[in-house]
A = this chain, B = another copy of it.
Amino acid sequence: MFIFNAQLRVRYADTDQMGYVYYGNYGAYYEVARVESLRNLGYAYKDLEAQGIMMPVLENHSRFLKPAKYDELLRIEVTLKQPPSVRIKFYYRIFNEQDQLIHTGETLLAFVKVNTGKPCRPPEILLKLLSPFFDEA
């Protein structure tokens, strides 16, 4: 299992007139968290696209438990429960400054070749970097 905690400050731009983070902005929050989790591992998503692979989102599920508010410094816990295959599933749990769980979500993404649009295996380097987290006895 691979776990990473990202931090993200709520912007004024993210709020709506309810005074909460607009529900449509969590997708961008997830993106920040998963990209930072990979960067922390030593892998830049940018390099993936430079290699001709992109990662479109196939499925997304979000549960809004409590509102996130302006200027809060959120903690976004990202988890991979399985090593990636042609697909990769990220789990998110978001905590507010009082460390209350306010949100959970999952995003399923695919590895796809930019030129053919066909699914492909993740880059070897990424698999290698992640393997210590999924090693079995």
- Chain A: residues with CB nearer than 8 A to chain B? 9, 11-13, 15-20, 22-28, 31-32, 35, 44-46, 49, 54, 56-64, 67, 70-71
Contact = CB atoms under 8 A, between A and B. Distances in A.
A101 B95 CA distance: 35
A contact face: mostly helix, strand, loop, or mixed: mixed
A27 B32 contact: no
A45 B69 CA distance: 13
A39 to B, nearest CB: 9
Contacts of A12: 16-17, 22, 31, 35, 45
A124 B19 CA distance: 26
Contacts of A63: 58-59
A78 to B, nearest CB: 15
A12 B56 CA distance: 12
A48 to B, nearest CB: 11
Contact of A15 (B17, B25, B26): B17
A59 B62 contact: yes
A23 B27 contact: yes
Nearest to A106: B61
B64 A62 contact: no
A94 B15 CA distance: 23
Contacts of A58: 63-64
